[in-house]
A and B are shown apart, each in its own frame.
Chain A
C-alpha cells in the first residue's frame, strides 16, 4: 500500500493530537491533602463517631483470610471472639463506633501496605511495628507486646535445645515477611539457609514432615499450634527482645491517614484503663512457662 506523504503526515498529526488529548484526559485531579499536618486539627477531629472514615458513620476494619486462632475465632473476625477481634471492637468503641457500625474486610497481609488508596480505615493482622515499615504505612501505638518462640517436634533434634547456640546447626523455618524470620536470620544466624514459607500452615506441614527441625512463630500462635494443631510438638523456648525494646503489634493505617492520631489515642487509653491487659488474659495464654533462650 502506498500512502502519499501528505496523508501520512496528517494521520501522524491526528494520532499525536489524540494521544496528547488522552494524556490530558487521563491526567488525574490532584489529591486533596488530608488534614494531617497539624495535630491540633487532628485532636479536634477525633469527635466520637464522627471521624473521617471511608464510609461516613462506619468504621471499616481489615484483616487477612483465613483469620488464625488465637487472634480470631472460627475464622469470623466479626464475632468479637479472639484477641484481635476483641481489641478491634474495643478500639472502635473508644472511637465512638458501636458493634453495628463496624464493618470487616478481608485484605491479604501484603496488600494491606501496598501504596494506593486503602479500602479500610485500619488493618489488624499481627503486624509488628518497625521504623523501616513506618516509611510505608502509619502505625497506631502498639496494642500487644509480642515475643517470638521456637517450636519443634517432641523427641526431635531441636527439642533439646537450651540456648540460641544449640539452634545454629538446625534447619529452621518461618513465614515470609514476618519478624519470626528476622529472628532466625539476625539472632540465631543458622548455618543452613532458613526455609521461608508463604503461610504458617505450610511451615506447620514442613515441621510435621520433618523438612525443617524447628519453626519460629509468635508466642501466642506457638501456644495454639502446640495445644491444638500439632500436638506432638512442643515450645522449645522464647527469644528475648532484641535491643531491649519490646516488639509490638500495631494497627496499620494508610500513610498520612487522618485517623492515625485518633486510633493511637484510643489504643493508649485502652492500655491505661487495663482493657488490653484484661483481653490478653481472656484470649491469650500466659507466656510465663516458656523458657527463655539466650
Chain B
C-alpha cells in the first residue's frame, strides 16, 4: 500500500492499539480526514438502521405466517410444550454427557490417527510405496463408506465374531467406528495442508542441514497444521453431532433420551430441546474457530511468526 503523508501509517499504528505518543507528536488530523470519518460514521449508522428495519419486517412476516397457519395450535402443543420440555431437559443433558465424552476421546484419537495417515501418504521415497498405497486405500474406503453402515458393522457385527478379549460395549465400539471414519476425513485435511507447503520450504530446511524428519517436524508440519485449523474445527463440529449415532448400539445419548420421551408421549418437544442443546454446544466452538482464524490472519498480516 502507498503511504500518504503519514496519515495511513498512523492509522496502521492505531490498529495495533499503539497509542503511545499519538498525542505527543503534535499530529493534527486534516480537515479532509475528519470529513471522511464523519461521512463513514454516518454511512455506518444508516446501514445499521436499514438492517434493523428489514430484520424487523422479516421477523414480523415470518411470525404472522407461522401463527396464522391453520395447524399452529396443534403444532405448538406438539413441539413447544413446557411440561415436556421440563421433563426432557435433565434427561437430555444426562445423555449429552455421553456425547461430550465421546467427542473429547474420539476427537483426540482422530487427530492423532489422521496425522499419522497423512504423514504416511506424503512420505517420499520408493521404499514407502506400500505404506502410501495402504494409507490411500484407507482414506478412500472410510471416506466413501456411509458412517451409519460403518457403525452398524462395528457395533453389531464385531461382537458377533465372539473374539476373546474384544469389548462388546456399544459405546467403545461406536467410538471406534467414529474414529475410523473421521480420521479418514482429517487425514485428507492434514494432507492438503502438507501439500500446500511450497517445496522451497523443504529445500531450504534441507539446505540448512536438517534431516528429512526434522524438516517435516520443524518446518512443514507447523505451517501445514496452522493453515488447516478452520477445516479441522469444522470436522470437529461435525463429529460432535455424529456422536449421537452410537445410539444404534442401544447407548442412550441426548437424542435417544429425547426419543424415549417422544415414544412414550407422542409429543415432539424433547427433540426441540435436544436440538437446541446441540446448537448451544456448537456455537461456542464455531466462535472459537472464527477467533482462531482471525488471530492467525492477524499474525500473518504482521509477517507471520515463522
| Interface residues in chain A, defined as those with a beta carbon under 8 Å from any beta carbon in chain B | 5, 8, 12, 15-16, 19-20, 22-23, 26-31, 110, 113-116, 130, 132-133, 135-137, 173, 176-178, 181-182, 193, 195-198, 202-203, 205-206, 208-212, 255
Given A114-B78, A176-B259, A209-B168, 19 new contacts (CB under 8 A) = A8-B50, A15-B57, A23-B61, A23-B64, A27-B64, A27-B68, A28-B68, A115-B74, A135-B265, A176-B260, A177-B260, A177-B263, A195-B252, A196-B256, A197-B250, A198-B259, A211-B159, A211-B169, A212-B250
Which one of B58, B156, B247 lies within 8 Å of A19 (CB-CB)?
Answer: B58
Give Cα A209 to B167, complex, Å.
11
Q: Is the CB of A205 within 8 A of B170?
A: no
Pick from A15, A135, A212 the residue with the most CB of B within 10 Å.
Answer: A135
Residue of B nearest to A197 (CB): B250
> In the assembled complex, which residues on chain B have CB atoms less than 8 Å from the CB atom of A28?
68-70
Q: Are B50 and A211 in contact (CB under 8 A)?
A: no
Count of B interface residues, CB-CB < 8 Å? 39
Would you give the shortest CB distance from A99 to chain B, in whole angstroms?
31
CB neighbours (8 Å) of B268 from chain A are: 114-115
In the A-B complex, the 8 residue pairs with the smallest Cβ-Cβ separation, listed nearest first, are A177-B263, A195-B250, A209-B159, A136-B266, A113-B266, A31-B70, A115-B78, A205-B156
List B contacts of A205 (CB < 8 A). 156, 160
Nearest chain A CB to B219's CB is how many angstroms away?
44
Is the beta-carbon distance between A116 and B64 smaller than 8 angstroms? no
Smallest Cβ distance from B72 to chain A, in angstroms?
10
A-B contact count (CB 8 A): 111
Complex-state Cα separation, A212 to B264, whole angstroms:
22
CA distance A135 to B74 in the complex (A): 10
* B262 interfacial by beta-carbon distance below 8 Å: yes
Contacts of B262 on A, CB cut-off 8 Å? 110, 177
* Listed A/B pairs (20) with beta-carbon separation below 8 Å: A12-B53, A19-B61, A20-B61, A23-B65, A27-B64, A27-B68, A135-B267, A136-B265, A176-B263, A177-B260, A177-B263, A181-B260, A182-B264, A195-B250, A196-B252, A202-B156, A202-B250, A203-B250, A210-B168, A212-B250
B249 within 8 A of A: yes
A113 surroundings in chain B (CB, below 8 A): 266
A170–B252 Cα gap in the complex (Å)? 17
B248 at the interface (CB under 8 A from A): yes
Q: Are A195 and B264 in contact (CB under 8 A)?
A: no
Residue of B nearest to A117 (CB): B71
CB of B75 closer than 8 Å to a CB of A: yes
